[in-house]
Structure 1
Amino acid sequence: MFGGIASVLYAAVVLAWSLRPDSEIAFSTPLWWTVCGAFLGAVGAVGVPIVLWVHYRVRSPVALMAGLLLFWHVLVEYPPIGSGQGDTPGFTFVFLFAPLYAAGYLLLAVVERWLRGRTGPKLVAG
């Protein structure tokens, strides 16, 4: 539930940010494709680590998510890493690489659970 709420909020913030008059983001797809794509990207980038944290008590995916969002939304915007000339790359790469982030989150969760041993709730039922 918390992962879904966070995904909806993140997608809403991205879409609201893109509606600003001075935004460089332009959508070439129909509105429903844009909203669905933003939500699916947000699930992969934001929802998965929150679900892993709430349900399985693994924290490393949330740390990676925080680092990724910090990188794409803050550090890329400002020099010396970024050009300081727009918000398009941050939003684009968070959504574009969401499947890779979700795979990384799952891998980190498995490694964290393995390092902790077999105490607490299991990540994989079996």
Structure 2
Amino acid sequence: MVKARRAAQAYKAYQDISRPGSPGLGARIRALPRMLSGALRGDYRDLGKGKLALMGMSILYIVSPVDVVPEALFLALGVVDDFGVFLWLASSLLGESGRYVDWERKNLAIAPEVDINRRQV
């Protein structure tokens, strides 16, 4: 059940990226630093502090040597839980960065005198 849900989330993220008119993978990855700084400053309010905290905790969980399901004891099961967290993080970041790029385009259309990096033109 859990594997099917994770696979469905990954496939949904793939469909979102490959949808015509949707920002591509490169644009989404380049937008990540802008999205995170915009969310922390409060400019981009669609990404809440709670979701940011979950993303940060998932990064810590992936890189942490201390694990809920240790790889040394459970072998493959220990790697699978890390991979599941990674899939959630990747699909969340890619999905949210696509929404951010759309939000950014809409806001730039309203205020064209400011570019993406917040410098006056």
Q: Structure 2-normalised TM-score?
A: 0.32
Higher relative contact order (CA 8 A, sep 6+): 2
**Which has the greater radius of gyration?**
2
Q: Structure 1-normalised TM-score?
A: 0.31
